[in-house]
Amino acid sequence: MFEFDSLLSAVASGEAKPFSGYPPYHFVGGNIDEPTVPSEALADAVGDVIRNQGPAMGKYGMNSGPQGYLPLREFLSDCLKRRAGMSVTPGEVLVTTGSLQAMDLVNKALLNKGDVVLVEAANYAGTLTKLDALGVDYVGIELDKKGMRMDALERALSDLAARGRKPKYIFTIPTIQNPTGTVMPIERRRKMLALAKQYDVPIFEDDCYADLVFSGKRPPAIHALDDDRRVIYCGTFSKTIAPALRVGYLVAPWPLMGHILPLKTDAGSGALEQMVLAEFLPGHFDNHVSGLLPMLQEKADILCTSLDEHFGASVEYEKPVGGIYLWVTLPKTIDTDRLFQVALEQGVEINPGSQWTVDGAGNKHRMRICFGHPPIGNIREGIAKLAQICFEEFGLPIRSGNVERL
């Protein structure tokens, strides 16, 4: 067999293993509850758009140009106004292959090796991985129960300014922060904008989970409060409709959008997915999302009840107010890197805290548990099994009859 190892580029040093299927208890990833995918309505939309708009797929960009299918961008412009308080035109929207592509495009447009950005200290693992790959420095800003702390942000901005360094952007997930699940209040959003203006720094707002606030009421996007067009914004339909559709979007002002477009070298995101969503969303999106919320809240409640039952006082967490994941703190004697390895061998997969924080070594006693995809029975069984594995590996939680405690 031909040997490729000696030919690999510098960026191809990592190696993935062939996919062997999901474990029985799968508590990782942004997967959603499969029965909630609106398959029948999407199937109807496919038939309609293929019959009515199919010939437009005979050219790249159809009749809408490189920013994506115009009816979908028009829907997004209206939807972001209604749900997030944003005022954007379809010309400020770029349809992307998931929000991850939006992040890549912003990074390509703004970042060089050695640049510095500010991020929440606990953060989406993909954000940190991408910044590492680019050779970009990042400073983790502490969080509390209301999201990124503005005193910590101001201190970091001041410290960098004193050293003659200016961040390329402040990255934040203000609504259902990943992984902590916090929601930043409006006063703190305004303070972030004021600090960004004071230090002349843009903000990159990731709003991928904002539609999943269980109460159905979310604060306005930071973008909606911005009066000098310094906020870049991304979102996705992966958490509300279907991850496998791979449809996200980026909102950016011109002329920045003009610099981003040449970097999207894939000849356009998939046309059929965009056309189907443009057909489906106007008449269904709000009701569909409203139907997701009680289901997700029930799953979150059952996850918390299961953790209380099987881990007792060994775990600390803030009960979710939205989203599909829970950030859990265990005693510092428990190494979730090790727990991840041992549990996976027994069919339970979790996200270890070291991968979801800037200070990975200092967060090995934390883990992220995703509840969006597994059914309720699977959540109960999986958490019970995880507690047993944790006890066998670390001696915690200590069991006394039916009570588990430290």
Q: Residue 117 burial (CB < 10 Å; 0-12/13-18/19+)? A: buried
Q: Which residues contact 207 (CB under 8 A, 6 or more apart)?
A: 84, 173, 174, 175, 221, 233, 234, 235
Q: CATH topology for 21-37+287-405? A: Aspartate Aminotransferase, domain 1 (3.90.1150)
What residues are paired with 316 via a beta bridge? 329
- Structure confidence at residue 15 (pLDDT): 87
Q: Which pTM does this prediction carry? A: 0.95
- Structure confidence at residue 323 (pLDDT): 97
Angle at 163 (CA atoms; ends 159, 166), nearest 5 degrees: 80
| Residue extent(s) of CATH 3.40.640.10 domains in the chain | 39-284
- Structure confidence at residue 399 (pLDDT): 55
- Structure confidence at residue 352 (pLDDT): 98
Q: Which residues contact 234 (CB under 8 A, 6 or more apart)?
A: 96, 99, 102, 103, 106, 204, 205, 206, 207, 208, 248, 249, 250, 251
Burial call 9-34: b when 16+ CB within 10 Å, e when fewer: eeeeeeeeeeeeeebebbbbebbbbe
| Residue extent(s) of CATH 3.90.1150.10 domains in the chain | 21-37+287-405
Angle at 182 (CA atoms; ends 177, 187), nearest 5 degrees: 105
Q: What is the mean pLDDT of each run of 10 residues along the chain (406 residues)?
A: 90 86 95 95 95 92 94 98 98 97 98 98 96 96 98 98 98 98 98 98 98 96 97 97 97 97 95 96 97 98 97 96 98 97 97 97 97 97 97 80 40
**Is 3.40.640.10 the CATH classification of the domain at 39-284?**
yes
